[in-house]
Amino acid sequence: MRATWAHRSGAALTERLSVDVLRPESLLVIAHPRSPLSMRPSVRWTELAGERWILPAPTSLVRQAVDSAFICHGHRPPQPAIESMSPATNVSLVAQGLGLAALPGTAMIPAERRGIVQRLALQPAIPLPPVTLVYHALSGSSDKIE
């Protein structure tokens, strides 16, 4: 899907951007592969509420999505045991058994394939805005964008 966004400063058109939606994205909760939660066929929000969490700062999109998901399921959002903005660091901390983390699916797939983390069977997934490509509309399409 392609859309054009125009930012207006007063009456003057200052910039035109094209936005291509590339794919949907969701947030997955991951744990150490030997965590008791990893062995379960399904995990409830109640069980996640009492766990140690590795989360980014409260202003991040990921943290806001996690907090909203807990609230929507009737629970107080967790206070992180560790606060980190780096997805790679968060995967490493989970792999060391230091807590749970929530990451976009694309950020944790390589670690899951290596067997150092395990996604939890939590449904429904935590939605995120789709992955998009934003570029100047006047530049049109280029080989790099394609």
Tens digits of residue pLDDT in 96-109: 999 999 999 888 88
Structure tokens at 128: 């995120």
Q: What is the pLDDT of residues 19-52, one digit of tens each?
A: 788 888 889 999 999 999 999 999 998 899 889 9
As beta bridge partners, residue 16 has 6
pTM: 0.78
Better-scored residue on pLDDT, 140 or 62 = 62
pLDDT at 13 over 50: no
Instruction: Look at residue 53 in the predicted model and tell me its pLDDT.
Output: 98
Over its C-alpha atoms, the chain yields an Rg (Å, rounded) of 19
pLDDT top residue among 142 and 118: 118
Amino acid letter, 53: W
pLDDT bracket for residue 73 (50, 70, 90): very high
Greater confidence, 14 or 57?
Answer: 57
* Residue among 28, 11, 6 nearest 105 (CA): 28
CA distances from 54 to 30, 64, 86 (A): 10, 14, 10
Whether pLDDT at 12 is above 50: no
Please give the mean pLDDT across all residues of the chain.
Answer: 85
- H-only helix segments in the chain: 45-49, 61-72, 87-95, 105-114
To the nearest 10°, the Cα dihedral for 89, 94, 100, 106?
A: 60
